[in-house]
């Protein structure tokens, strides 16, 4: 049985943050990250709208980028004390994802993290609280997805939690929140969204409901991302919608091994000073994975479709795949994102010799490849890589060499 699930309400457009005034409930816990939402005044506005709606409000702040299991447990404890009937998560993917996981633990205090990561294995939520997500970055689309990504720093592994139970009840997609993003964040989150849409379109779980969303998102991102990066706020608003459409697609069509590889390389070089930012990892790996997947005829035809919709030219699928790869690499250059791990340097900008030395990379490669194959996103990829293939693919992502297998 195929299922297509989205939040019941998606409020979108400038000023929609005010929708919080119409919420009904007794207590709202507002979950935010470090400081950006407070600094730019969005937290105060959200809190006052909820109070205007007659709710008691408590703020849980300080959720770090790439949130940890510990943070999730602390947040759930705070929720158990405050007993909110609304959880309002605001900010980038990190605080919203953390709040989703806290919600699970709040509803089921005895559940262990190991049980939370069983794919589509969560018990029914909403016995205690409903969930509203308000994104301030234009990429993860976690405001409409059935996913949350939590990092186990002891293992250096990012775990995707996946279940329609954690698809939020309400999403507020207000582009005002995205206007304060620094350029680099625009670039990374934008390429994350592009990866979501492309992986959803070629996923083995794609369907007639997800395809139009994925294709339209790809076209919007192609048209608007670099202008948004350059500071055009109309395009910034358009990107906020595009990433959300991409999210609607991938939440229901799932993803592929670009994400498997990004999840398993993100935190593993932390000790080398290289935290590989999610969107940057995707941007580097996507062209390589397209070349690998395109050895599958059906996937090549789907990439050909994408290239056609993007107006890239080419007559055979092989030509179209080449043009798509070239276009994505050009986007990376325009957004100042490196093309490979070896060149991933300070502030995630391209550099001749990045943080991760060849020696360290090769040492950790077998384990990373094993973990990437086991990632929840691998199952819906058009090709199922063997250990040897995954190692080869990751090497191409390290050295920026051609994928010919
Ligand atoms: N749940 C999903 O479906 C899904 C999908 C893709 C990625 N993810 C996960 O989401 C996380 C990444 O989320 P992200 O890319 O949104 O970044 P993020 O939430 O980690 O935020 C990155 C930084 O940007 C700042 N920031 C956020 N919004 C801002 C704004 N409007 N203005 C200025 N600064 C702002 C934050 O304070 C933070 O320092 C990763 O852990 C990734 O694995 C989740
Ligand atoms: Zn992503």
Going along the chain from its start, the domains and CATH numbers come out as 9-178 (3.40.50.1970), 182-399 (1.20.1090.10)
Cα–ligand 1 centroid distance for 278 (angstroms): 9
Residue 136 Cβ inside 6 Å of ligand 1? The answer reads: yes
Ligand nearest to the CA of 199: 2
Mutate to test the pocket of ligand 1, among 93, 150, 180, 286 (most ligand atoms within 8 A of CB): 93
pTM exceeds cut of 0.95: yes
Q: Which residues of the chain have pLDDT under 70?
A: none
Cα–ligand 1 centroid distance for 106 (angstroms): 23
Residue 181 Cβ inside 6 Å of ligand 1? The answer reads: yes
Q: Which atom of ligand 1 is found nearest the CA of 185?
A: 24
- With helix as H, strand as E and coil as C, how does the chain read? CCCCCCCCEEEECCCHHHHHHHCCCCEEEEECCCCHHHHCCHHHHHHHHHHHCCCEEEEECCCCCCCEHHHHHHHHHHHHHHCCCEEEEEECHHHHHHHHHHHHHHHCCCCCHHHHCCCCCCCCCCCCCEEEEEECCCCCCCCCCCEEEEEECCCCEEEEEECHHHCCCEEEECHHHHHHCCHHHHHHHHHHHHHHHHHHHHCCCCCCCCHHHHHHHHHHHHHHHHHHHCCCHHHHHHHHHHHHHHHHHHHHHCCCHHHHHHHHHCCCCHHHCCCCCHHHHHHHHHHHHHHHHCCCHHHHHHHHHHHHHCCCCCCCHHHHHHHHHHHHHHHHHHCCCCCCHHHECHHHCECCCCCCCHHHHHHHHHHHHHHHHHCCCCCCCCCCCCHHHHHHHHHHHHHCCCCCC
Residue 36 Cβ inside 6 Å of ligand 1? The answer reads: yes
Q: Which atom of ligand 1 is found nearest the CA of 179?
A: 31
Cα–ligand 1 centroid distance for 309 (angstroms): 29
pLDDT number for residue 273 = 84
Q: Which atom of ligand 1 is found nearest the CA of 262?
A: 43
pLDDT number for residue 84 = 98
Ligand nearest to the CA of 43: 1
Residue 97 Cβ inside 6 Å of ligand 1? The answer reads: yes
Cα–ligand 2 centroid distance for 97 (angstroms): 12
pLDDT number for residue 197 = 98
pLDDT number for residue 208 = 98
pLDDT number for residue 57 = 98
pLDDT in tens, 256-312: 999 999 999 988 888 888 889 999 999 999 999 999 999 999 999 999 999 999 999
């Amino acid at each position: 049985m195929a299922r297509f699930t989205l939040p019941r309400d998606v409020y979108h457009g400038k000023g929609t943050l005010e929708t919080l005034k119409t919420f009904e409930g007794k207590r709202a816990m507002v979950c935010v990250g470090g400081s950006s939402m407070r600094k730019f005044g969005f937290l105060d506005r959200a809190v006052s709208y909820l109070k205007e709606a007659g709710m008691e409000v408590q703020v849980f702040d300080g959720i770090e980028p790439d949130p940890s299991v510990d943070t999730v447990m602390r947040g759930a404890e705070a929720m158990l004390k405050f007993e909110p009937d609304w959880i309002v998560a605001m900010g980038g993917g990190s605080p919203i994802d953390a709040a989703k996981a806290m919600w699970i633990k709040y509803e089921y205090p005895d559940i262990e993290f190991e049980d939370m990561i069983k794919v589509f294995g969560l018990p029914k939520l909403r016995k205690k609280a409903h969930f509203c997500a308000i994104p301030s970055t234009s990429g993860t689309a976690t405001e409409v997805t059935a996913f949350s990504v939590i990092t186990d720093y002891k293992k250096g592994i990012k775990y995707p939690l996946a279940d329609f139970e954690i698809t939020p009840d309400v999403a507020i997609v207000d582009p005002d929140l995205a206007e304060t993003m620094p350029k680099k964040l625009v670039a990374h989150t934008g390429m994350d969204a592009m990866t979501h849409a492309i992986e959803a379109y070629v996923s083995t779980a794609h369907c007639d409901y997800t395809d139009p969303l994925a294709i339209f998102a790809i076209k919007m991102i192609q048209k608007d991302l670099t202008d948004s990066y350059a500071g055009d706020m109309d395009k910034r608003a358009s990107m906020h919608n595009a990433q959300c459409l991409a999210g609607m697609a991938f939440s229901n069509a799932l993803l592929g091994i670009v994400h498997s590889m990004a999840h398993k390389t993100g935190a593993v070089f932390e000790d080398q000073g290289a935290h590989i930012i999610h969107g940057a990892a995707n941007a580097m790996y996507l062209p390589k994975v397209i070349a690998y997947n395109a050895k599958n005829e059906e996937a090549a035809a789907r990439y050909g479709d994408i290239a056609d919709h993007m107006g890239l030219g080419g007559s055979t699928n092989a030509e179209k795949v080449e043009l798509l790869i070239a276009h994505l690499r050009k986007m990376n250059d325009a957004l100042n994102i490196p093309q490979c791990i070896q060149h991933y340097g300070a502030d995630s900008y391209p550099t001749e010799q990045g943080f991760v030395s060849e020696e360290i990379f090769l040492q950790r490669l077998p384990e990373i490849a094993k973990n990437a194959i086991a990632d929840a996103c691998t199952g819906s990829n058009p090709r199922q890589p063997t250990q040897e293939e995954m190692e080869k693919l990751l090497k191409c992502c390290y050295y920026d060499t051609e994928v010919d297998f």
